[in-house]
Structure 1
Amino acid sequence: MHRKVFASKVFDRKVVLITGGCAGIGRAIAMRAAQGGARLVILDLQQESLDSLVQHLEDHHNVEALGLCCDVADAQAVEHAVAHAVERFGGIDVLVNNAGITHRSNFADTQLEVFQRVMAVNYFGAVHCTKAALPSLIARGGQIIVLSSLSGFAPLLYRSAYNASKHALHGLFETLRAELKGSGVNVMLVCPGFTATDLRKNALVGDGSVAPQPPLAIGKVASAQDVAEAIYQGALKRKRLLVLSNVNWRARLLARFFPRLFERVLLPRLSGLKPQRSGLH
């Protein structure tokens, strides 16, 4: 869908650093920020994909972009990448903690290494990037955007490590927001619903191997571009919480106030389980 470039100049020449920026929501955010005139720093794992994206951004959006190969789970690598970005552009105005992985496996059958890897990327990756970028963000009155999930407030079956990592992000960044009060830095937690991305194609299973999973959805599946547009508009307004999709409000309400009903009715559907028909054997 063709998108009109809004007249707002809020992000014109601002430096936006996006983790996991070569695919899915991260790539869509990079494109939308480029439309707004931002200068971009993209962190991801494959240099070839980074080079291709940077070339596309420069050729089609006429923006400055820097692609850095970096595993956000590696604190030292993140420090070097952020230092490189600051040296190149003078600072960071917006940090988008988007990088993440998932799994699908029963808790009892999930090896400890899977929990460690999911937390290393989803939670500690955000910790590493935020610690490294925070001095610049404070100096520039910037913004931290954190990609959480529906599972940040409502669980999904067979994703205990993933669910835990998203709950941890809420605990961390809600605390950080309070600590940063008066600094000029905004913290926005984003909770998308089911979104058409490749995350499920690289899902881990209990033994730590990768096994693509079928798409799981209830209601309409959002495009990465639609989610990126909502995030961009939320960032313009410096929102604190952005809850997206037509299912999240129901899940959030039921999980908090009617947990037994949530577990019986909505949780199986959200988790991709087919409903059982009574009277059939």
Structure 2
Amino acid sequence: MRRVIRKVFRNKVFDRKVVLITGGCAGIGRALALRFAQAGARLVLLDLDQAALDSLAQHLADHHNAQVLALRCDVADAQAVSAAVALAVERFGGIDVLVNNAAIAQSSPFAETELAVFQRVMAVNFFGALHCTQAALPSIRARRGQIIVLSSLSGFAPMLQRSAYNASKHALHGLFDTLRLELADSGVNVMLVCPGFTATDIRKHALVGDGSVTPQPLPLVGKVYSPQDTAEAIYRAAVRRKRLLVHSNVNWTARLLARFCPRLFERLLLPRLSGLKPS
């Protein structure tokens, strides 16, 4: 009986809730849009590709009877984010869940990476999440909702030739761990998500040192999750309002070694995780 009650509860948690997902057209963002639509949520999707947004919105409406507001928005632009969030609140009355998913990758040695690359990666990965959270927070607080932030395995276990990307993910932990403490009495949940290697297109569009896109997709190492696998794990963690989700085949090993045995981590795991040696 308890199992049945829990199952019914899980199926109703996000029914009619308003879920805003950045980077919602592809990869984990798209998979999350589909999963929350299946749960009955109303969706606000932000991305840069309007045609892809319109196509996904039509698919969600046709196959899941979902209400969707699909907006072209660069999360690095604070004014554009503010306008998009205002439209979402006007359309649906508020925001219950914010998923800060939009991100870009980088792969180049620090000494060969131009300042503009660091600025662009931070603008999207860190300031994009900051802009969206600042804009949506009043509504989320009023609804006692939650903020979900897509970090990475590199948020606690650094990878070689990813200095800009690693820095942006570490910055997310600093910001949102602090925000969680400040919102402790508000009823708002803040969850950081650290996926491992997931088969998305972000690795195909990583920036190299001069700001161009890598000619070679970043390597995937070890067990690789599908976007649907990761989205399902995030959805279930959101139902439970967890603080941290580490979804990776090397999660606790890498995390513990990186923190308590850094030399051992650097010798045994770092080259493999960075894709510089065979797994």
Q: Which band: TM-score by shorter chain? A: over 0.9
Deviation at 1:174, TM superposition (A): 0.3
2:146 and 2:201 mapped to 1: Cα distance?
26
CA contact (8 A) 1:190 1:231 kept: yes
SS in 1 for 2:269: helix
CA contact (8 A) 2:205 2:217 kept: no
CA contact (8 A) 1:70 1:78 kept: yes
Deviation at 1:215, TM superposition (A): 4.3
> Which residue does the alignment assign to 1:243?
246
Deviation at 1:217, TM superposition (A): 3.0
Amino acid at match of 2:121: V
Amino acid at match of 1:190: V
Which of 210, 221, 224 is residue 224 of structure 2 equivalent to?
221
> Which residue does the alignment assign to 2:262?
259
Deviation at 1:218, TM superposition (A): 3.0
Amino acid at match of 2:266: E
Which of 8, 14, 20 is residue 11 of structure 2 equivalent to?
8
- 1:81-110 superposed Cα distances (whole Å, 9 cap, x missing partner): 000000000000000000000110000000
CA contact (8 A) 1:6 1:36 kept: no
2:228 and 2:33 mapped to 1: Cα distance?
10
1:214 and 1:87 mapped to 2: Cα distance?
40
- 1:181 paired with 2:180, answer no
1:248 and 1:52 mapped to 2: Cα distance?
35
CA contact (8 A) 2:204 2:218 kept: no
Q: Larger % of helix: which?
A: 2
Could you tell me the TM-score, scaled by structure 2's length?
0.95
- 1:216-268 superposed Cα distances (whole Å, 9 cap, x missing partner): 23321000000000000000000000001211211101100110011111000
Amino acid at match of 1:247: V
- 1:48 paired with 2:55, answer no
CA contact (8 A) 2:147 2:190 kept: yes
- Give runs of aligned pairs for residues 97-116 of structure 1, distance below 5 A: 97-116=100-119
1:169 and 1:75 mapped to 2: Cα distance?
17
SS in 1 for 2:149: strand
- 1:207 paired with 2:210, answer yes
> Which residue does the alignment assign to 1:76?
79
> Which residue does the alignment assign to 1:196?
199
- 1:59-102 superposed Cα distances (whole Å, 9 cap, x missing partner): 00001001000000000000000000000000000000000001
| Count, aligned residues | 272
> Which residue does the alignment assign to 1:125?
128
Amino acid at match of 1:241: L
> Which residue does the alignment assign to 1:151?
154
CA contact (8 A) 2:153 2:248 kept: no
CA contact (8 A) 1:194 1:216 kept: no
2:167 and 2:117 mapped to 1: Cα distance?
12
How many percent identity over aligned positions? 79
- 1:97-154 superposed Cα distances (whole Å, 9 cap, x missing partner): 0000011000000000000000000000000000000000000000000000000000
> Which residues of structure 1 form unaligned runs of 5+?
276-281
1:204 and 1:138 mapped to 2: Cα distance?
36
Which of 155, 162, 166 is residue 165 of structure 2 equivalent to?
162
Aligned-residue CA RMSD (Å): 1.3
CA contact (8 A) 1:103 1:159 kept: yes
SS in 2 for 1:184: coil
1:263 and 1:216 mapped to 2: Cα distance?
18
